[in-house]
Chains A and B, each alone.
Chain A
């Protein structure tokens, strides 16, 4: 191929992936970030200033009780009687449900086992609990192109496509196309990791063979000790952020109530809202993250002592909780914790 042809191919390739960028999603994200920065009309600002002056005046006129520190009082941790085995049972049931969600024409026939001629390929899904994986097979009396068109027009309920169509082939000439889906976050309970669904298909004469695989893992159960509880008077934030060629330790941030109550409450809610890590533990292989290793540490100061949430952000790091210096289990899935911390820190 000539350079011109390759350049055209690259342009076409990029353009063909534009549908992966949903403009409505982008605008929603922008609105959620942009809203706090919206400027208020002058008359609103003036009214707010008058209100503040009035409140301060009233506060000073009535005096205040200096013995009562301004605090953020988190909601008590939820009482749970769940066990890991129950979570695992829920994950297994969900995995079995999701593997049936593959959108196929009504003419598809379920096959009891792996059909002859299917190349010996598996899947990589890390991290996941292999014992919870489900696999199912179908034969569809349409050609592979028609099936792909059908899949383009249909999606499994409660799931979204992760990437575009992919394909692979082996030395025998078997060409397998595939799509992967992930569960919508909102439909995922704390009991297990969102279920992934990989759908693969291959031409087989005038039929098409279809294989579906799920992957998931059950979560551990949070104990009351892993929650930030009691009255929080302040939070210290310590961070090292990726900053090539050397990672950068940022100046510590100290939030105190009541001035920073809203941000403190957000951080408390963020930590208390995290699900526990999945089981079993897994070994991750990651690129060298640089030095010092990126992390974020939140130290919540309460009347009863300190609760620390520490996350090494590189390489599948999990949130470790320490109470008064002692680690408590289990660790927590970090979710969007670093983003919440960045938002709370803002331009301080």
Chain B
């Protein structure tokens, strides 16, 4: 320690500072930081709404299919619903876009062209799709559907980047699930309606949702809440256990998990210092 009074140690290698090589200065490890990133509950709540929302969409799909199978809904009603929702989506999508008016027109016509193509192709293919998995037992199909829908939820793009996020995988899994389910119907028209609904819910809606989320903070939570309530109400009608379980999942995803993350984050101890790789900003 008496060395310190004689000179000020410098953190350099090119000078012989006449101290042993294992000299430890008071400045040792002063430049490290141990701060971990902090989260705010509100932002976490809003981000996790996307997960709940997609879960609601999946439930919505399964419920509509179920009602169609029970005979409470005719395919015509489902198709009309689909088309009207698609039109609304289309309108919202263009309304929230940054493009100029004449380009918007092209976007709309382009979108309608794609929609028409999908409609025709699905219509033509639905007799094949209906019989595609007809021979497979119902239990196997249900298991496959559950796995695929779970996979869809796992791979879905909720707005964060990661290895697991893949839009195409997620969409394909959902469509596969729809094809599985649609083979349990008697007519090809039913199959057609199911596939169209799947395309609309899993293909179109996430695009629209992202566009809305970028422009308006209020609409999405409201839509999610309404959807959530409707699904709980429908579920209560059939099974109280299911409804309660669904409600609990919603609560967990949106309140309890973010809360735990916010609480536990200060415990995280990550060390930063001059040895870290520099991050390029450009």
Do A and B bind?
Answer: no
Using a CB–CB cutoff of 8 Å, the interface residues on chain B facing chain A are none
Using a CB–CB cutoff of 8 Å, the interface residues on chain A facing chain B are none
